[in-house]
Every structure is written in structure tokens, then in C-alpha cells.
Amino acid sequence: MRETHRLVYWIRRLSEIALVGWLGLVLLGDTAIAVAMGRAQFTAPLCGLIGIGAYLLRERFRVQGMVLLMGMSAGVSLFTGVFHWTGSPGFADAGALLLLTVGALRWVTPLRFAVLLSVLAMVTLELSAGLRTQKTSAVGFGFLFFVAWAVAMGIGSYLRYQREHRLETVNAVRRAERLELARELHDLVAHHITGIVVQAQAARTVAAQKPEAVVPSLEAIANAGTDALTSMRRLVGVLRADDDASRNPGTTLTDLRVLVERFSAGGPQVDFDVRQGLSESALAPEVLTTLHRVLQESLTNVRRHAPGTGWVRAELGPAERGVLLCVRNHRSPSDPRVARLGGGFGLVGMAERVKALGGNLVAGPTPEGAWEVRAWFPAGHEPARL
């Protein structure tokens, strides 16, 4: 994952260098035109410098830089129009304004504010074309700037749609994972509450010889446990919908081994090792359930994205005052996970589940050329509130 982030970082930096270099060349052209035309054009290079600066500082001052550039460009256009200084529009500041329009539509919130900035950018471009040039060429420059602005609007709107769509998908995966975790937590808690109710009822029967001392407290325990069980069953009825409500509430290390055996029967062979020092009694039930889910999702990803892998190794053992599950495989030549930068919603769901239990999950390539998923859970964890 670190190599992927580094690749994305350098792609972004190279694209920025290319765009800034393009703006610099356009600025040189504006300067040459200003030298040839004299005072009618001397403000164009200044606006171009401001535009390049606004683009370079867009990460910190996106809106401020765009507003400053539009105000400067519109002021220069009105100034030249009042004194009838005709020449040509500033192409460097126009290019910078178009790039800032793309970024505003992609990142600025709320959307109506981003649209307002884009419309003001179009007005600024048309003022530059109409007031800085002669009437014969104003229509041509105005049409050219409008087409360029429309293209920038389309690119920015598409990038914003992609961003919003991914955010919605990630949120949907997280909500689904939280609901699944809530169902499993209900099963676990309901299982224990059932035992409490049974024990309280049995103790009430045994304590029949001294009812004045024991029966009232045991009656309260039984009533509280029964009420809690009824409420949680009502809640799980809403969460489960059409799901089967008779699932086994507990997961064991044997279930993990059975999962590995089933995967090995229909896919690459898996070497599953449970290290010494790890006992099933030391793991909370919700941690065991989540370990099973992470192992299942990791093996499913291996089968889906690296079907030609030679081996898969899974290790589970104590680590750093907790428990660590590591699933590693060598990628096949057709494995697209490193190249695909937009997917990975299964990993999002796993990370949300692990995070809810106080742990963390990391997935990515290793220096040895393998793909690795590492899920760590703290020891003695109390489940997070949903």
C-alpha cells in the first residue's frame, strides 16, 4: 500500500509540474504580446503571475486564490474597457482560472457555492474577451473561452461525481458492516443473557428454603434478564429482516481451521498456523467472530484477484499486547490490486469492523513481492458503541 501511495504521489506531482510548465509557456507568450503591443497589454503578464500563484497555492487557499484572480482579472478588463485599450486577453490567467474551476467543482463544498464560483469564472472570462479585445475579435475569443469553460465544467463535475459516488459507497459498506456487527453482538449478548435468566430461575428454586433472603433479588434478576432478552430480540428482528435468526452465536478457532480447509479444497493451498501462547479462552467472542470474517474476506480476495498464486500463508498469534492475524500470498501476473486505485470496498468493510473492536487493519504489498493483510486486536477489549 505504501508503494501505491508513493506512485499516486509522483503521478500527481508530475501532472502539476506539467500544468505549471504549460502556464509558464503561456505566460511567456503573454509577455511577448505585451512587449509588442505596449501599454494596452502590460497588465496581462501580471494577471498571469497571480493566476499561477493561485494555482500553486490551491491546496491551502483554493477559494481565496480563485476569488483574488477573478477580481484582478475583472478589474483589469474594466480598466482597459474604460480607457479603450484594446489588445488580446490574458491567456495565462484564463488558463489558471479554468484549472481552478475544475478544482472548485471537485472539492469545494457546498455544491451550490462551487457552482457559483464556476459561473463567476465564466463571467470573468467573457469580460476578458469582450473588453480587452477589438469588437471584431471579441466574439471569437468569447466563444473560445466559453467552450474551454464548458469543458472545465464537465471535467470538474465528473470528478466530483466520482468522489461523491465513492464516498457514498464507502459509507454504505461501513453501515452494512456495522449492522452485521450489531447482529453478531446481539447474538453473543443474548446468548449470555439467556444463561443468566436460566441460572437466576434455578437459584430461585433452590433458595425456596429461605425465600425472605434470596427470592426477591433473584426475582429482580430474572425479570431484568427476561426484559433485556425480549428487547434485544425485537431489535434483531429489525436488523435481520429476512436473515436466519438461528445462527450459532459463537465462533471458535476450529471454525477458522474449517474455513481454511474449505478454501484449500477449491483454491490455492493455505498454510494456517496458530502460534503457541494463544488460547481460545483468551479471545473475546466478538474478536473471534471478526477474525473469522477477516480471514474469510482475505481468502476470498486471493481467489478473486490472484487465482494463480502459488501459496497462501495465514498466521494467528499474540503480538503487541493483543492478537495479530496475518494473511499473505504472492500475487499472480494477472493480479490487478496494486494497479486498481479506485476499488477495495471489501477492505473498507473489514477495516470498519476491526476498528469497531479497537484494532486496526493494514493491507498492501510487502517488499518481498507478496500481498499481505494484517489485522490486530487489543487484548481484553470492550466492544465499541455503535
Decide if pLDDT at 215 tops 70.
Answer: no
Instruction: Please give the share of the chain, as a percent, with pLDDT higher than 70.
Output: 73
Mean pLDDT for 13-20 is 86
Decide if pLDDT at 240 tops 70.
Answer: no
Instruction: Please give the share of the chain, as a percent, with pLDDT higher than 90.
Output: 25
pLDDT value of position 340: 40
Q: For cell 482597459, what's the residue?
A: 80
Q: Using an 8 Å Cβ cutoff, are 104 and 84 in contact?
A: no
- Distance CA(50)–CA(72), nearest Å, equals 8
Q: pLDDT of 126-165, one tens digit each?
A: 998 988 887 778 889 999 999 999 999 999 999 999 988 8
Decide if pLDDT at 110 tops 70.
Answer: yes
Cα dihedral 293→298→302→303 (10° resolution): 10
Q: pLDDT of 329-381, one tens digit each?
A: 876 544 444 334 334 556 777 787 788 778 899 888 887 778 889 999 887 54
More confident residue, 358 or 73: 73
pLDDT value of position 98: 95
The three-state DSSP-derived secondary structure of the chain is CHHHHHHHHHHHHHHHHHHHHHHHHHHHHHHHHHHHHHHHHCHHHHHHHHHHHHHHCHHHHHHHHHHHHHHHHHHHHHHHHHCCCCECCCHHHHHHHHHHHHHHHHHCCCHHHHHHHHHHHHHHHHHHHHHCECHHHHHHHHHHHHHHHHHHHHHHHHHHHHHHHHHHHHHHHHHHHHHHHHHHHHHHHHHHHHHHHHHHHHHHHHHHHCHHHHHHHHHHHHHHHHHHHHHHHHHHHHHHCCCCCCCCCCCCHHHHHHHHHHHHHHCCCEEEEECCCCCHHHCCHHHHHHHHHHHHHHHHHHHHHCCCCCCEEEEEEECCCEEEEEEEEECCCCCCCCCCCCCCHHHHHHHHHHHHCCCEEEEEECCCCEEEEEEEEECCCCCCCC
Q: Which of 28-32, 50-54, 264-268 has the highest mean pLDDT?
A: 50-54
pLDDT value of position 39: 63
Counted residue by residue, the chain has a size of 386
pLDDT value of position 303: 79
pLDDT band, very low/low/confident/very high, at 70 (cuts 50, 70, 90):
very high
Distances (CA, A) of 313 to 64, 162, 323, 329: 52, 36, 17, 6
Cell matching residue 327: 494473511
Peptide bond into 110 cis (omega under 30): yes
More confident residue, 281 or 80: 80
Any idea which of 130-144, 248-262, 312-326 has the lowest mean pLDDT? 248-262
pLDDT value of position 383: 41
pLDDT value of position 159: 93
